[in-house]
Amino acid sequence: MSEVQWNEVESYIAGRIIGEDAALSGALDAVEAAGMPAISVAPPEGKLLHLLARMLGARRILEIGTLGGYSTIWLGRALPEDGRLISLEYEPRHAEVARANIERAGLSDRVEVRVGLALDLLPLVEADAGGPFDLVFIDADKASIPEYIRWSKLLTRRGSLIIVDNVVRGGRVTDGNSEDPSIVGTRAMFDLLAADPDLDSTAIQTVGSKGYDGMAFILVK
Ligand code: SAH
Ligand code: DHB
Ligand code: MG
């Protein structure tokens, strides 16, 4: 099956049921115009994040890896008026583009982008969150995924959901000899999930405009 077909099916699904609007498509346009990488989640994935946050009744959301705020907007739109989303981003330029996109989406009152290395910011997030996060979306450097999972456990509660993007990487996740830090980090995440009795999880393979990849879904028990 060809990537052309994956793209056609994604466009079909998006055209029928995703409901992307000017703020979302404008965010992707701004990412492209700024010369930032085309690694925002695909529209059906963004909608999945949004629906899951609504199903959970999420009031506090943590995102690690903002880029231009495309996934941030999908997640932020699931929040009630008094809800809060904190998104962590290393690149000041990305954060700047994201903040403008979030402003255009009318979400500046509940969404905050913080600039720095996520592992430096996470200890501060703990103090400011005002309670445990209901949902964490991990989508930054893949080498640090195990540490992000450990932090997520500290910052969530029983019943919270942790979602991790890019856990398949064209199938390279199965290569136990890989020295690519992204693959090593992702495989260490699967080892951690297999061994942790406090976490229950699955992972789904995805195809579409972002190629062949996948997402992990982790319930904090
Ligand atoms: N979640 C976004 C895509 C994020 S791309 C979306 O789907 O729309 C990954 C982002 O993580 C990039 O912007 C990159 O600059 C950022 N990043 C990489 N390493 C990081 C780190 N150590 N701390 C914080 N952000 C990081
Ligand atoms: C990369 C990062 C992502 O978050 C993504 O969705 C796709 C690719 C990357 O760093 O290559
Ligand atoms: Mg990603």
Nearest to 98 by CA among 27, 198, 169: 27
88, 47 Cβ separation under 8 angstroms: no
Alpha-carbon distance of 187 to 76, in angstroms, equals: 29
**For a pocket test of ligand 1, which of 50, 139, 144, 206 has the largest count of ligand atoms closer than 8 A to its C-beta?**
139
Q: Which residues line ligand 1 (CB under 6 A)?
A: 39-41, 65-67, 70-71, 88-91, 94, 117-118, 139-141
pLDDT tens readout for residues 22-68: 999 999 999 999 999 999 999 999 999 999 999 999 999 999 999 99
pLDDT tens readout for residues 80-113: 999 999 999 999 999 999 999 999 999 999 999 9
Handedness of CA 24, 131, 57, 65 (dihedral sign): positive
Ligand with the closest atom to the CA of 210: 2
Q: How far is the CA of 108 from the centre of ligand 2 (A)?
A: 25
163, 219 Cβ separation under 8 angstroms: no
Q: How far is the CA of 213 from the centre of ligand 2 (A)?
A: 10
Q: Is the CB of 36 under 6 A from ligand 2?
A: no
The single-letter DSSP state of residue 209 is T
Nearest to 157 by CA among 51, 59, 49, 55: 59
